[in-house]
Structure 1
Amino acid sequence: MARPEWKAALLASAIGALTLAAQAEEHYGIGRAATPEEIAGWNIDIGRDGSNLPSGSGSVERGRVVFSEQCATCHGADGQGGLGDRLAGGQGTLASLKPIRTVGSYWPYASTLFDYIRRAMPQNAPQSLSNEDVYAVSAYILNLNGVVPADAVLDAKTLAAIRMPNRDGFVTDPRPDVHNH
């Protein structure tokens, strides 16, 4: 899950890398500073409240097609797992001796699903799916988990409004230096 601490660490790492690149360029004549366009290409995070979701929309029906073409090889035809993680099922198992952690049983925010798919999937071609296809695959996975109906069409507004089954299954971190949002 993309937590604020993770994002801050990633930002600090990026700044450190840019500083080292600038120093390498200055001292050794190699490398160059990243352009604003290059930085913008990776500044695509989505907040758990749905902030920064892009325009576009996608249906469960379209998601079924994209999933079968781009995702099923790793995640199984119905998201039951394979080479990649299981994505569907597991509801009611988290308190058991063998919890099944899937999008529907464990993930607290639907926006995180969109963010992860857009940023990292398919594994052999990250960031290759259009926003419409990412909305569609998100809709399909959420449908497999019973979170949205088969006729659902997701966009920035509808995705942000989804309340995941395990939204309240996490506890806040009591450490004073952690910002719980």
Structure 2
Amino acid sequence: MSWHSKLFLAGLLAAGLLAAPALAFDFGRPAAPDEIKLWDIDVGPDGKGLPAGSGTAAQGKQIFADNCAACHGENGQGGIKDRLAGGQGTLASNMPVKTVGSFWPYATTLFDYIHRAMPYPTPGSLSTDETYAVTAYILSLNGIVPADGKVDKESLPKIRMPNRNGFVPDPEFDPAKLLHKK
């Protein structure tokens, strides 16, 4: 179970929503383990939850052109939606450019987001290998992996993003403190 799921369940327990077994609603049924597995698709910064598969930046270039460029522009810039490439070194300037390469702290987050939410308007329609390929391509556009680079569940968590240390956790949202709050 991912840390997201554990934190969610801990919140439900703390709120008392799971501590009321006497309530019966007389509809539905418990979810089967294989049904739960379909929804347990989040990926942590450490790579936990990444599926088997792989993709190269070269493969991702065509998949990006076919599925992503209409919104994000050719080469991840100039589209009607968020810019994905460039912006390195601008975060401390008066005109910061937040992109995958300049702002995102973990490469695994990029895979997770593409896998769950992209491409618009058919999220989740890319295969696992296609998602790895698009991830590799976007990382290559930002100079993070080479143009002939390959990513998979082993290599992706090891990628050091340029802004890896640019985030400071808010103590108010420390999971350890949330679990023990009364």
Fold in common (TM above 0.5): yes
Q: What whole-Å deviation, never above 9, does each CA across 1:61-119 have from its counterpart, x for those lacking one?
A: 00001000011111111111423211111111101122111100000000000011101
Give the SS at the match of 2:99: coil
- 1:35 Cα deviation (Å)? 3.5
Aligned residues between the structures:
169
The corresponding residue for 1:78 is: 75
Partner of residue 89, structure 1: 86
Larger displacement relative to structure 2 (101-110 or 171-180): 171-180
Query: Which residue in 2 is equivalent to 1:150?
Result: 147
Aligned to 1:137: 134
- TM-score under structure 1 normalisation? 0.81
Q: Describe the shift of the 1:6–1:80 C-alpha distance in structure 2 as closer, same or farther (beyond 3 A).
A: farther
Matching residue of 2:101:
104
Taking a change above 3 Å as real, the CA distance of residues 71 and 179 of structure 1, as seen in their structure-2 partners, is farther
Q: Aligned with 1:112: secondary structure?
A: helix
* 1:125 alignment counterpart: 122
Q: Give the Cα separation in 1 of the matches to 2:70 and 2:10.
A: 33
Question: Tell me, which stretches of 5 or more residues in structure 2 are unaligned?
Answer: 178-182
CA RMSD of aligned residues (A): 2.8
- In 2, Cα distance between equivalents of 1:96 and 1:90: 10
In structure 2, what residue type is equivalent to 1:8? L
What is the CA deviation profile of residues 24-72 of structure 1, one whole-angstrom value per residue up to 9, with x for unaligned ones? 5x1xxx6554443332111111110111211111011000010000111
The question of whether the paired residues in 1 share the 8 Å contact of 2:7 and 2:175 is answered with no
Cα 1:42–1:6 change in 2 (3 A) is closer
Q: Rate the CA distance shift 1:23–1:72 in 2: closer, same or farther, 3 A.
A: farther
Aligned to 1:8: 7
The residue that corresponds to 1:51 in the other structure is: 48
Q: Distance in 2 between matches of 1:109 and 1:129?
A: 21
Counterpart amino acid of 1:46?
A: V
Residue 81 of structure 1 contacts residue 87 of structure 1 at CA under 8 Å; is this kept in 2?
no
- What residue identity is the alignment partner of 2:48? S
In the superposition, the TM-score normalised over structure 2's length comes to 0.81
Instruction: Letter of the 2:38 partner, please give it.
Output: G
Q: Does 1:68 align with 2:70?
A: no
Alpha-carbon distance in structure 2 between the residues aligned to 1:109 and 1:137: 15
Q: Judging changes above 3 Å, is the alpha-carbon distance between structure 1 residues 149 and 41 closer, same or farther for their aligned structure 2 residues?
A: same
